Structure 1
């Protein structure tokens, strides 16, 4: 509750635990999953002024103040450091079961209806173009390229969101991602028809 209250302005992080499917939670240690899901965006460069890296300094400081065991801190920071998508060609493979579960939950939260809403909210907040047919999607080969991208909101679907289905770690996550992926494809089909004046 303390983490949720303190960091409730971070929409993608602190609300994430409440949206983790129960079927995913049952696959691992729910305490580790909840802590990692609440802390994983605390050091996210996208959500901090002047943020340049995803090094989890603030997450580590918070855990140490709570007198959490070193083993749990090690496990949580390992998840947080590997969590984020950093480019289409950048490896972000999780090493622990709980890490795989939290990463799947985070990816599920990024796609489907909620993912579409979050994507346009973020793009609008950053002043990005909704769509520009002259700017093509890029497959970023490094975190630096991905981080510095100023691509359109629609391009973000092709640069990240539509790739997540094939990156899921668990069978449960894979099944859920299939349905949400299909929903995004249907949305994009409708978007382009309206953009081109066909509807």
Structure 2
């Protein structure tokens, strides 16, 4: 029997046909992304969320759907905190998903993203917490460093400017309007993630990725000052 799945899904495990459709939809929507929120990011988050969900004995289909759709209509690009949740729910209902499932996935999508160090957080189910951990792990370590500078370039941010102060935001609006620098973004977000993990497995992985980022920043500072 001929495999009719898209080639980029050929080796991806999906628990239901709806999950496969959701991944395909996300991959198509994010195909032209150059900010570090592309289909490769979605797939890494998806696989890590699966891993965490299995460790926590959670509903795999719900976890996979949240992971597949978590970056559709991302608020960082739309300026609307609820754009991703609305689109996730709209798409799921269009696929004839049960309304309760569509609503559950959408409410979790609304709460996944980091929106500033001091902003209130939206409540998540255990499934949503797994995806949030997976998404945050992808913002840390070697991948996180690469994505930080990719995103900074896409937003026309300077790599570093010692005269630009680190800012911690108390509202999503402040977070969205802030330009900053890529190095400051480590202090405004990435280095804060270790202590914001939900699952025990993610907490362990975050320690190693956090240490790697700190080591990188020390080397960056030495080279910036022509000391190394």
The answer to which of 13-22 and 54-63 deviates more is 13-22
Task: Map Cα deviations across residues 157-199 of structure 1 (whole Å, 9 max, x no partner).
Answer: 0000000000111111111101100000001001010000001
Decide which of 75, 80, 96 is 1:53's aligned counterpart.
80
Partner Cα separation in structure 2 for residue 91 and residue 101 of structure 1: 19
Q: What does 1:33-182 align with in structure 2 at a 5 Å threshold?
A: 33-47=63-77, 51-55=78-82, 56-92=85-121, 94-182=123-211
Decide which of 195, 217, 220 is 1:188's aligned counterpart.
217
Measured after TM superposition, the shift of residue 60 of structure 1 is: 1.4
Is it true that 1:4 corresponds to 2:23 in the alignment? yes
Aligned match of 1:32:
62
Q: Which runs of 5+ in 1 are unaligned?
A: none
Task: Map Cα deviations across residues 98-120 of structure 1 (whole Å, 9 max, x no partner).
Answer: 01111111110111111111111
TM-score by length of 1: 0.92
TM-score by length of 2: 0.81
Length, aligned pairs only: 196
Measured after TM superposition, the shift of residue 93 of structure 1 is: 5.0
The answer to which of 3-12 and 136-145 deviates more is 3-12
Could you say which structure has the larger radius of gyration? 2
SS of 1:16's equivalent?
helix
Partner Cα separation in structure 1 for residue 25 and residue 63 of structure 2: 19
